[in-house]
């Protein structure tokens, strides 16, 4: 993976190699009338879900739209993605497709836990804050045990205290730990940190789940092998995110311990997550996973975040709250500035009361987007 290059445009240009913009703006009946630059406009930093489909995923989808092929995952695209995942992770593992991250997390945790068992997770974890109780619902009653920890990472000492507090038969039985990589606060667990948590889990006969909605951003930032932050350091199940990385929709649930995936296909089907025309979920994945596009996309998003943070800090003297290690920038901003930026059409969210806002970068953010935002910050910040 080439990490050089003067600016964000450079990286995307190399990504567009052999793949013209017509892939983004196809035939007359589809989205051709939408001007992506305007549609994306001021939502650029609201979320990495506001971006479009990356050209390679789009091209792969279009290419798969040919003749009739077997359904429900019996097609060649699904098989090729699973093989490619085993190649990338350098191990034999079981791979399943789902439509979104909530389903991936909730069904994976349901696979790990009986209804009377519990999951230790960070109080900022998406499974707790943003999944509408889906993990509790699909596990039929498992409890999320919330702990804290600096920078969005769980603190093992607190996990220990939490487990000691469980009252044998009268409490849920701790069964899994869930961590998010990269975290909800834009930080990254180093391989040793994941290993320490999995060691802790294993000593207590617990399993380790990783919410990898932004797994690609972590691999790109650490510049490591995918196995170095997953199965090699004790991750049992990974929910590998594709949506934020450039797909329209789709995540993979990857079981590194194959015995854990027993009858997971039934669980998926019951949970409404078995795609009948699976090739259209799989083909864009193939677009991402070929020629390291997933890493280029993630690296681009990470680099955009780093550039945005540096400019906010140096040009506008805005306080960056957490270390910018992946594609999120958390800033401390007074309410007036946030309100004025919103009034100019910039969408972004307050994440932590009273004054911490999140600016998120995706694969599609450009130098110009950052400059446009900075120009408004400069005009309004006094
Ligand atoms: C950490 C994390 N996990 C999972 C998800 C996936 O959620 P969704 O169900 O919206 O695809 C998200 C999306 O925002 C996320 O930030």
Ligand 1 shell residues, CB under 6 Å? 100-102, 126, 180, 184, 211, 213, 243
For ligand 1, pick from 47, 49, 98, 101 the residue to mutate: most ligand atoms within 8 Å of CB: 101
CA of 221 to the centre of ligand 1 (A): 19
Both tokens of residue 264?
């997971």
The residue nearest atom 5 of ligand 1, judged by CA position, is: 101
Q: How far is the CA of 170 from the centre of ligand 1 (A)?
A: 32
Q: If you take atom 6 of ligand 1, which residue's CA is the nearest one?
A: 101
* C-alpha to C-alpha distance for 335 and 191, rounded to whole angstroms: 38
C-alpha 381 – ligand 1 centre gap (Å): 32
Q: How many CA atoms lie within 13 A of 133 on its CB side?
A: 3
Please state, in angstroms and as integers, the Cα–Cα distance from residue 98 to each residue in 84, 108, 241, following that order.
Answer: 17, 11, 10
Ligand 1 atom closest to Cα of residue 131: 9
Nearest CA to ligand 1 atom 8: 101
Instruction: Please choose from 46, 125, 130 the residue to mutate so as to test ligand 1's pocket, defined by most ligand atoms within 8 A of CB.
Output: 130
DSSP letters for 67-79: S---STT-SHHHH
What are the tokens at 174?
A: 């701790």
Which tokens belong to 237? 């199940």
Q: Which residues pair with 144 in a beta bridge?
A: 119
**3-state SS, residue 352:** strand
Distance 213 CA to ligand 1 centre (A): 6
Q: How far is the CA of 281 from the centre of ligand 1 (A)?
A: 17
Atom of ligand 1 nearest to the CA of 48: 14
In this prediction, residue 283 carries a pLDDT of 98
> 181 alpha carbon to ligand 1 midpoint, in Å?
11
- From the alpha carbon of 103, which atom of ligand 1 is closest? 9
The encoded tokens of residue 128 equal 């707790």
Inter-residue contact 363 to 300 (CB < 8 Å): yes
Closest Cα to atom 4 of ligand 1: 101
3-state secondary structure of 84: helix
pLDDT at residue 269, as a whole number: 98
Cα(378) to centroid(ligand 1), Å? 32
Whole-number Å distance between alpha carbons of 21 and 367: 18
Residue owning the nearest CA to atom 1 of ligand 1: 126
Nearest CA to ligand 1 atom 7: 101
**Phi/psi of residue 367, nearest 5 degrees:** -55, -40
Using the mean position of ligand 1's atoms as its centre, give its distance from the Cα of residue 136 in Å.
16
Residue 221: what are its φ and ψ, rounded to 5°?
A: -70, -40
Mutate to test the pocket of ligand 1, among 47, 122, 126 (most ligand atoms within 8 A of CB): 126
- Ligand 1 center from residue 184 Cα (angstroms): 9
- State how far the Cα of 286 lies from the Cα of 232, in Å rounded to an integer: 24
pLDDT tens string, the chain, 382 residues long: the values are 433 333 454 444 433 333 332 222 232 232 333 344 444 459 999 999 999 999 999 999 999 998 899 999 999 999 999 999 999 999 999 999 999 999 999 999 999 999 999 999 999 999 999 999 999 999 999 999 999 999 999 999 999 999 999 998 999 999 999 999 999 999 999 999 999 999 999 999 999 999 999 999 999 999 999 999 999 999 999 999 999 999 999 999 999 999 999 999 999 999 999 999 999 999 999 999 999 999 999 999 999 999 999 999 999 999 999 999 999 999 999 999 999 999 999 999 999 999 999 999 999 999 999 999 999 999 999 7
Domains of the chain by range and CATH?
22-53+294-380 (3.90.1150.10), 55-292 (3.40.640.10)
Distance (angstroms) between ligand 1 centre and the Cα of 126 equals 6
CA distance 245 to 368: 20
């Amino acid at each position: 993976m080439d990490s050089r290059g003067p600016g964000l445009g450079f990286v995307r240009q190399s990504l567009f190699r052999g793949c013209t913009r017509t892939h983004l703006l196809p035939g007359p009946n589809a989205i051709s009338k939408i001007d992506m630059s305007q549609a994306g406009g001021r939502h650029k930093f609201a979320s990495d879900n506001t971006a479009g489909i990356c050209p390679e995923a789009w091209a792969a989808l279009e290419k798969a739209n040919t003749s009739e092929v077997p359904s429900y995952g019996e097609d060649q695209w699904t098989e090729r993605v699973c093989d490619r995942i085993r190649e990338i992770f350098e191990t034999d593992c079981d791979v399943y497709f789902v439509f979104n991250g909530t389903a991936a997390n909730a069904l994976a945790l349901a696979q790990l836990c009986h209804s009377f068992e519990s999951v230790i997770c960070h109080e900022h974890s998406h499974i707790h804050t943003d999944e509408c109780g889906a993990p509790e619902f699909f596990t039929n009653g498992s409890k999320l045990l919330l702990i804290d920890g600096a920078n969005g990472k769980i603190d093992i000492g607190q996990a220990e205290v939490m487990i000691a507090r469980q009252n044998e038969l009268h409490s849920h039985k701790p069964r899994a730990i869930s961590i998010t990589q990269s975290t909800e606060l834009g930080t990254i667990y180093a391989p040793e940190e994941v290993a320490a948590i999995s060691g802790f889990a294993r000593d207590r006969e617990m399993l380790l789940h990783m919410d990898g909605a932004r797994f690609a951003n972590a691999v790109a930032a650490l510049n490591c092998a995918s196995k170095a932050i997953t199965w090699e350091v004790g991750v049992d199940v990974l929910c590998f995110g594709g949506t934020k990385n450039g797909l329209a929709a789709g995540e993979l649930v990857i079981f590194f311990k194959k015995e854990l995936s027993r009858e997971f296909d039934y669980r998926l089907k019951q949970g409404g997550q078995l795609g009948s025309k699976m090739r259209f979920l799989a083909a864009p994945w193939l677009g991402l996973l070929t020629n390291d596009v997933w890493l280029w996309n993630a690296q681009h998003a990470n680099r955009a975040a780093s550039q945005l943070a540096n400019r906010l800090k140096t040009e506008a003297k805005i306080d960056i709250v957490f270390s910018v290690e992946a594609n999120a920038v958390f800033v401390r901003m007074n309410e007036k500035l946030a309100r004025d930026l919103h009034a100019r059409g910039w969408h972004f969210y307050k994440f932590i009361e009273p004054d911490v806002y999140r600016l998120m970068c995706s694969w599609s953010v450009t130098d110009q987007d950052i400059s446009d935002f900075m120009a408004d910050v400069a005009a309004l910040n006094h």
